[in-house]
Amino acid sequence: MAPADGPVRLEIGRADVSGPVLARVTAFLAARAGLSVDKVSDALLLSDTIASAHALLGDATLRITVSTRDGSMELVIGPLEAGSSERILGAPHIDGHGILERLADQRVVIADVDGRERLRLVLGEISDREDSG
């Protein structure tokens, strides 16, 4: 199946619906990108972890841009307040390592010019793009 033509942008205001919304969108896009079954499973765990981290953002709206291409999926979370990416990456832990550290093939904190930041997570074939959305 061909990847989506353009990025999908989500804005989720309520933390209690983040999990179900992210799971459905992430699973669909991961499968559409041609990720392996293991990577689709990783994508679902990744979306659950991001959704649970939504509470760390306080009352903030969770903004995520998801881009796909053959064999890879990129999620860019933000804009976030400075330091939020590290809080998201650090929660929850397994054997002393954050879950996102184990699931995402690439993790990059992108500093924005306004002092905010975005968290870029890549699953599958690592994209050489520095930025998205």
Mean pLDDT of 13-21: 89
Q: Give yes or no for a contact between 49 and 72, defined as CB atoms under 8 angstroms apart.
A: no
Q: What is the percentage of the chain residues whose pLDDT exceeds 70? A: 83
pLDDT at residue 10 above 90? Answer: yes
Residue whose C-alpha is closest to residue 87's, from 19, 78, 18, 122: 78
In this structure, is residue 60 part of a structural domain? yes
pTM to 2 decimal places: 0.82
Mean pLDDT of 48-75: 85
Residue whose C-alpha is closest to residue 60's, from 42, 77, 43: 77
CATH code for position 103 = 3.30.565.10
In this structure, is residue 48 part of a structural domain? yes
Cα 33 to Cα 87: distance, rounded to the nearest angstrom = 28
Number of domains forming the structure of the chain: 1
Q: How confident is the model at residue 6 (pLDDT cuts 50, 70, 90)?
A: confident
In this structure, is residue 1 part of a structural domain? no
Question: In which domain, by residue range, is 38 found?
Answer: 8-124
Over residues 22-51, the pLDDT tens digits come to 999 999 999 888 898 988 998 998 888 888
Two tokens at 23?
Answer: 């799971």
Residue 7 DSSP class: -
